[in-house]
Structure 1
Amino acid sequence: MLTATNSLSVETVTRVHHWNEHLFTFAITRPASFRFRSGEFVMLGLPDGQRPLLRAYSIASPAYDEELEFLSIKVPDGPLTSRLQGIKVGDPMFLGRKPTGTLVADALLPGRRLYLLSTGTGLAPFLSLIRDPDIYDRFSQIVLVHSVRRVSDLAFHDTLQAQLAGDPLVQDQALLQFHYVPTVTREPFHTSHRIGTLVENGALFAPPVAGPRQFDPEHDRIMLCGSMAMIKEQAAALDALGFTEGSNAAPGHYVIERAFVG
């Protein structure tokens, strides 16, 4: 039996969905006192002998949801994920009481367009952000790019392709302001380039996205989440264009989650 502590509550798994043999989502109960900003992460875990085994997970659900949803890969020999992938509805789980992170709107300067560049499970924090009404008030366009290896790795594809139709709070704004750009690099798909290539060849800036054919530090704001290679490549390119990295203390033109990339 799991026991709550000053830093951890004990929650219950409410939903589990396996997208394929490498990727799954799950949801847990949300404490009435739990508050977070869209884009933040929190510690999750399971018992490991006398101590909990914890890892940081970005919250994928919107801030108003009654549950907390997460997106995870399956790592056969991963200390936590090897066990986490076997969870079932009703199972208990540790939840950290203090969410945090830099992939939040407050860490960005005001702008016109918000680009969310993700690979793999880096999609998770952006799933929360794009369902936040405040984002649509802050930016005139929100462009979500999700790069994966296989078509089955495109978690939430149908919902995103439908521009969040049916969302109780943002569906009307998303229809006009939200653009979804999925790309698959190792299987046939209508878009098959890596994020860096989409930026370099200008495909990322094609209509209906309105703007110049490259990132513009005056108007564009960018969030990066996913593979280390993509983040380092894009951060270096943005720095060369005159972008500055932002934080909660000093907002900038782009942000990454330092807790994940070191």
Structure 2
Amino acid sequence: MTHQAIDRAAFSPSAALAVETVTRVRHLTDRLFCFAITRPPGFRFRSGEFAMVGLPGDGRPLLRAYSIASPAYADELEFLSVKIEDGPLTSRLRHIRAGDPVYLGRKATGTLVTDALLPGRRLFLLSTGTGIAPFMSLVRDPEVYARFAEIVLVHCVRQVADLAWRDLLEGQLAGDPLVQDEALLQFHYLPTVTREPFGTQGRIARLIERGTLFERVSGPRCFDPQGDRIMLCGSMAMIRDHAVDLEARGFVEGSNSRPGQFVIERAFVG
């Protein structure tokens, strides 16, 4: 498809929406892409939150919630998106290029934040697909390393090419201006693939059952409500199944108003 520049005149900024500019786009596969946009002055967010992003629609803006993958100190806001051929927004958003305008909600929000968790020792970030995005912000947040002795990021995907940010994560965030020293000692990355040969294979539930999830960290080889804190982000089925499992293990779901032992992004699962 030939790219057609998006007409900035079609955008109408408002009290709720800003108009920002795409700074870069990276296509990982025919199903997945990352894009970054300018960050408005004064735009604040907590690591793990999401914002509304979109394009003009038929009579009103067409918006979707996207988790912010950038660290809180970044000048840009980065997002990870699937490509849905007949999706109302992603069928158009997949063709954006640097210089194009997009809508951005002026306020970020969400429940995948450390404020919603009780103090603990180990933090497990369990993600599938594009669910890794909010965790990319969290693992580059110095506060996370101050609050938890060990951070484990699990990313489960179908194919190896779907492992977004793999090189950065395998390098334990080397070069990050704020957390590279802490990450070298405290951060663990566990990618797993379900449909291609890879070093670690299988769904997250299988890694938990076999103890693979706990091989690189100290402490018990199972989830412990006393010291473990868990965040879930990914498919609705994955979140539902693991939330049920965690509650059966004695974990209590947290929120911004009442911190607990695990959290999910309620806005994405209803």
TM-score, structure 1 length as denominator? 0.99
Candidates 174, 192, 198, aligned match of 1:183: 192
User: Alignment partner of 2:245: what SS?
Assistant: helix
User: Alignment partner of 2:104: what SS?
Assistant: strand
Alpha-carbon offset, residue 12 of structure 1: 0.2
Matched, 1:234 2:238: no
CA–CA separation in structure 2 for the residues paired with 1:200 and 1:239: 16
Matched residue, 1:248: 256
Matched, 1:109 2:118: yes
Letter in 1 for 2:26: H
CA–CA separation in structure 2 for the residues paired with 1:111 and 1:104: 14
Matched, 1:45 2:54: yes
CA-to-partner distance for each residue in 1:132-185, whole Å, 9 max, x for gaps?
Answer: 000000000000000000000001101000000011110000000000000000
User: Alignment partner of 2:19: what SS?
Assistant: strand
Matched, 1:11 2:58: no
CA–CA separation in structure 1 for the residues paired with 2:247 and 2:107: 31
CA-to-partner distance for each residue in 1:102-145, whole Å, 9 max, x for gaps?
Answer: 00000000000000000000000000000000000000000000
CA–CA separation in structure 1 for the residues paired with 2:145 and 2:138: 10
CA–CA separation in structure 1 for the residues paired with 2:98 and 2:12: 19
5+ residue gaps, structure 2, are: 1-8
Matched residue, 2:179: 170
5+ residue gaps, structure 1, are: none
Matched residue, 1:210: 218
Q: Which runs of 4+ in 1 moved over 3 A?
A: none
Matched residue, 1:82: 91
Matched residue, 1:33: 42
Alpha-carbon offset, residue 49 of structure 1: 2.6
User: Alignment partner of 2:174: what SS?
Assistant: coil
Matched residue, 1:257: 265
Count how many residue pairs are aligned between Structure 1 and Structure 2. Answer: 261
Matched residue, 2:5: none
Letter in 2 for 1:17: R
Percent sequence identity is 70
Matched residue, 2:157: 148
Alpha-carbon offset, residue 230 of structure 1: 1.2
